[in-house]
Amino acid sequence: MKWLIYFLLICNIGFAAWHFRGLDVREDGAVDILEINNESQLVLLSEFQQQQKKLKSSVVGQLCNSLGPFTKKSKSEKVQALLRENDFETKQLRLRDTSRRGYWVILPASDSRKEANKHIDKLKKLKIKDYFLVATGAHENAVSLGVYSQKNLARRRVDEMIRLGFIPRMESVALPRKVYWLNWHKELKIQPDDLIINMIKKQYPQVSIIERSCK
C-alpha cells in the first residue's frame, strides 16, 4: 500500500511539471501563459496572405483580347505586321473551328461490303466519279457522294442521284477548318488604336475582338 502511495505522488509531481512547463515567471512573481499556439497561427496567416498576393499577381494579365478569326494564315500575318508597324506586338494563335456546318450526301450503309460494292459498280457504269466507300465507323458500308457547304448544292446532288435510281440521304455535318487569331494581354496599358482596328474590320468584315484565356 505504501508503494502505491509513493507511485501516485510521483505521478502528480510529473503532471505538475508538465502542466507548468509553458509558464513564464516575471520578476514580480506573477505568471504569464506563453501564447505559443497564437504565435504559430499569426505566422501561418502571414504566409497565407503572402500566398494570396502572389496568386492575385499571377492572375493579372491572364485574360487576352483576341482579334479574328482569319481563315488564312497569310491574312493574320498581314494584320499582325500592320499592328507591329504601329508599335504593337501580338501573338498568333491557331485554332480548329467546328462551328461551320455542311451537308453530306450518302447512300445509306448496306448490310455487307458485298452489297455496298454493288452500289459502287452501278456508279462506275454510270461514270459517276465523286464517291467513296466508308470502310469504318458508324456509317460503315455507306457510300459517300460528297460534302457540300451549301444546302442547295447538296439538294441538287440528291435529286440527281434519285433520277439515276438511287435512294440517297442528306445529313448535316461539321466542316472543321483552321482559323487564326491575334492575341494580346487585356491588362496592357497601351491597346491598339481604334482607328487601326476599324480599318482592319473594314477590310476583314468577319473579324471581331473577343475576350479569351491567354495561351
Higher pLDDT: 11 or 42? It is 11
Mean pLDDT, the chain, rounded, equals 81
In which band, very low, low, confident or very high, does the pLDDT at 3 lie, cut at 50, 70 and 90? low
Topology match between the domains 59-98+177-213 and 101-174: yes
Helices (H), 60-205: 73-85, 113-125, 151-163, 194-203
pLDDT for 160 equals: 96
**pLDDT of 139-157, one tens digit each?**
999 999 999 999 999 999 9
- pTM (predicted TM-score): 0.57
CA-CA-CA-CA torsion sign (96, 99, 104, 108): positive
Specify the DSSP class assigned to residue 108: P
CATH code that applies to domain 59-98+177-213: 3.30.70
The domain locations on the chain are: 59-98+177-213, 101-174
Cell of 15: 503532471
Q: Is the peptide bond before 69 cis (omega within 30 degrees of 0)?
A: yes
Confidence of residue 62 (pLDDT cuts 50, 70, 90): confident
> What's phi and psi for 3, nearest 5 deg?
-65, -35
Alpha-carbon distance of 212 to 71, in angstroms, equals: 19
Q: How far apart are CA 153 and CA 160, in angstroms?
A: 11
Q: Is a pLDDT exceeding 50 seen at residue 101?
A: yes
- For the domain made up of 101-174, give the CATH fold: Alpha-Beta Plaits (3.30.70)
Contact between residue 200 and residue 68 where contact means Cβ atoms under 8 Å apart: no
Assess whether pLDDT exceeds 50 at residue 210. Answer: yes
